[in-house]
Every structure is written in C-alpha cells, then in structure tokens.
Amino acid sequence: MAATARGERAMMMKASKAAESASDPIEKLRQQCLSRGANGIKGLGRAFRNMDDDGNRQLDYKEFKKGLHDYGVHLEDEEEYKDAFARFDLNHDGTLDFDEFLKNLRPKMSKNRVRLVRQAFDKVDKNSDGHLTVEDLRGVYNVKHHKKYVSGELTEDQILQHFLDSFDTPGDADGCVTWEEFLNYYIGVSVSIDTDAYFDLMMRQAWKL
C-alpha cells in the first residue's frame, strides 16, 4: 500500500506548486485543496456542511466566501471570488448546491482509472455491502511488517483502522469507507500521475489486482 502514500505525497507537492502558478480562480481553489492531500476537497465539503445550519445544502455568496476562508483556501481578490461563484452558480439564482460545487471542483479521471479503482474497492469489499471496514481489510492489507506492529506499539486492528481513516472524510471519520470516499481519494492521487500505465501499475501493486 506504500505506493498509495507515495502517490499522495507527490500529488500534494505538485498541487502546491500548481496553486502558486494558476491564474484561473477555480483551478487555484482545486489545487489549494489538493495540496492538503487526496481528501482535501472532501475536507472543504465538511467546512461547508458545518455552516449549513438549515440543512438545505445551499450556499449564498457570503457563505461561499466564508467557507473558503475558514478552510484556509484563498483567492486573489473580490473579483476572483465573484468569478468562481458565478461559474458554479449554474442556474444563476445566487446560490450554489455545494454537492454539485464539490463534484465540479474535483479533477476529471479517465474511465480506465475509475475501472481500476472500482476493482480495488470490490476486492476489499468482501461482503459487497458498499462499505469498507477493518474486517474487510483483514487479510488484504498485511500489517506483519509494519514497524509499530512489530514494536508492539499498535495492534493489527489499530493499524488497519488508521489505514482506513486515510480514505475517510477528514474530521468526520465514521470507521467505514464508501465507494464515493474511496474514489474521491484516488481522484486526488490520480492528479499527480501523468500516465495511465503508471497508475495501473501503482493500483495493481498496492491492491494485488
């Protein structure tokens, strides 16, 4: 599974540099989120959910700007914030559906890569219930050579849970990972990998596909 961690680190470094050089406001937001890790865009979603007091999953311009600020991602000036908001306000009613906003903020991923990610998810999801748990990971992810297992610092279950949490929604981990969360993680990792051949190799080595 180390290939996954290496892929994420490379993605974070690449995104950090891209955020500094980007001129498009939406690309700036996307790269700033990805510089926080593969789950960076999902983390922004959590910041928006925390502001959604009435539960309507809508954001007006003021909430949009405050949510970005609270999460620590910033644009150059008021004009860029307004431009980004207007481009996501598809029906021009002055509000954003933040699920759609987050979906459009994610980088695109090729069908071949999505297929590989699906293969990995289905392999781990032993009971086909659409959720990955520690029990699903047992026997798939070998902890025997993990240094904290060898030292006795952590149990097998603790290491498996820690690994599972890396795919879960930041700050809102519930102990199981859905297909959407798993895919979101790899959409982030995919950004740093230029060729489908290397992504294919990474996934097959990481998950023994």
Tens-place pLDDT, residues 49-63: 888 777 788 889 999
Helix, strand, coil fractions of the chain, as percent rounded to 5: 60, 5, 35
Question: Is the Cα dihedral 160, 162, 167, 172 positive or negative?
Answer: positive
Per-residue pLDDT at 2: 46
Backbone angles phi, psi at 98, to 5 degrees: -75, -15
What span, in angstroms and rounded, lies between the C-alpha atoms of 77 and 209?
Answer: 47
Per-residue confidence band for 4, with pLDDT thresholds at 50, 70 and 90: low
2 C-beta neighbours (distance < 10 Å), count: 8
Contacts 24+ apart (CB under 8 A), 165-171: 166/39, 167/39, 167/132, 168/39, 169/39, 169/42, 169/43, 169/45, 169/46, 170/37, 170/39, 170/40, 170/42, 170/43, 170/46, 171/43, 171/46
Question: Is the Cα dihedral 83, 89, 93, 98 positive or negative?
Answer: negative
Encoded amino acid at 60, one letter = D
Q: What is the pLDDT of residues 171-195, one digit of tens each?
A: 666 788 899 889 888 888 887 787 8
Q: What is the pLDDT of residues 68-106, one digit of tens each?
A: 999 999 999 999 999 999 998 888 899 988 778 888 888
